């Protein structure tokens, strides 16, 4: 069963904040960079799981790249500044906004994919990641070409799966840890 997108987003934010061997502790992340890291996390998870989606939302092929519109709206007030909070939801019991917990521990595939994506793509800037997602023949590119002028065209999961399976095959499954 797919995770709520806000749970996965918070796991990415937390992983970026705690750092890795090639990302300093406390690394700031902009909404654009978060969108791209979520895209790569979902794509690699889709390929590694044999087609099971990671999140409960689809990516749309917007003019500036693959986007989960709800995520865009949630953090749009930051503009291109670093995100200062975790994704949150309204808790009717407390009457307050509370951070959404990350996915529960015990999903080793998610942990492996998240580690891989943050180590591999985390060091890039938001603009570099955006350029990568716009590459010729990428799922975004294919969707934009198949749906000219349509802002909210879904990026087909089958297209994502084929694209990221090729990445896993090119790099070798052992190279990415699964």
> How many CB atoms neighbour CB 11 within 10 A?
22
| Residue whose tokens read 């999961």 | 157
Question: How far is C-alpha 15 from the geometric centre of its chain's CA atoms?
Answer: 13
Asked if pLDDT for residue 13 goes beyond 60, the answer is yes
CA distance 57 to 71: 10
What DSSP state is assigned to residue 17?
H
Query: Hey, where are the domains in the chain?
Result: 5-171
pLDDT class for 168, splitting at 50, 70, 90?
Answer: confident
Condensed to tens digits (0 to 9), the pLDDT of residues 129-165 reads 999 999 999 999 999 999 998 989 999 999 999 999 9
Instruction: State how far the alpha carbon of 44 is from the alpha carbons of 51, 97, 149, in Å.
Output: 10, 31, 28
- Report the percent of the chain where pLDDT is more than 70: 94
Q: Are 58 and 154 in contact (CB under 8 A)?
A: yes
Condensed to tens digits (0 to 9), the pLDDT of residues 63-101 reads 889 999 999 999 999 999 999 999 999 999 999 999 999
CA end-to-end span of the chain, whole Å?
20
């Amino acid at each position: 069963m797919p995770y709520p997108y806000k749970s996965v987003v918070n796991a990415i934010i937390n992983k970026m904040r705690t750092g890795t061997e090639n990302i300093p502790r406390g690394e700031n992340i902009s909404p654009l960079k978060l969108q791209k890291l979520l895209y790569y996390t979902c794509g690699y998870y889709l390929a590694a799981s044999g087609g099971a989606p990671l999140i409960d939302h689809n990516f749309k092929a917007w003019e500036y790249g693959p986007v989960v519109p709800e995520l865009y709206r949630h953090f749009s007030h930051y503009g291109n500044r670093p995100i200062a909070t975790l994704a949150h939801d309204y808790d009717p019991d407390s009457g307050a906004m509370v951070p959404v917990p990350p996915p529960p521990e015990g999903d080793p595939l998610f942990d492996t994919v998240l580690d891989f994506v943050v180590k591999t793509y985390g060091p890039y800037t938001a603009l570099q990641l955006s350029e990568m997602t716009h590459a010729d023949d990428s799922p975004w590119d294919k969707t934009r070409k198949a749906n000219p002028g349509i802002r909210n065209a879904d990026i087909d999961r089958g297209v994502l799966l084929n694209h990221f399976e090729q990445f896993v095959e090119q790099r070798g499954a052992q190279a990415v840890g699964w």
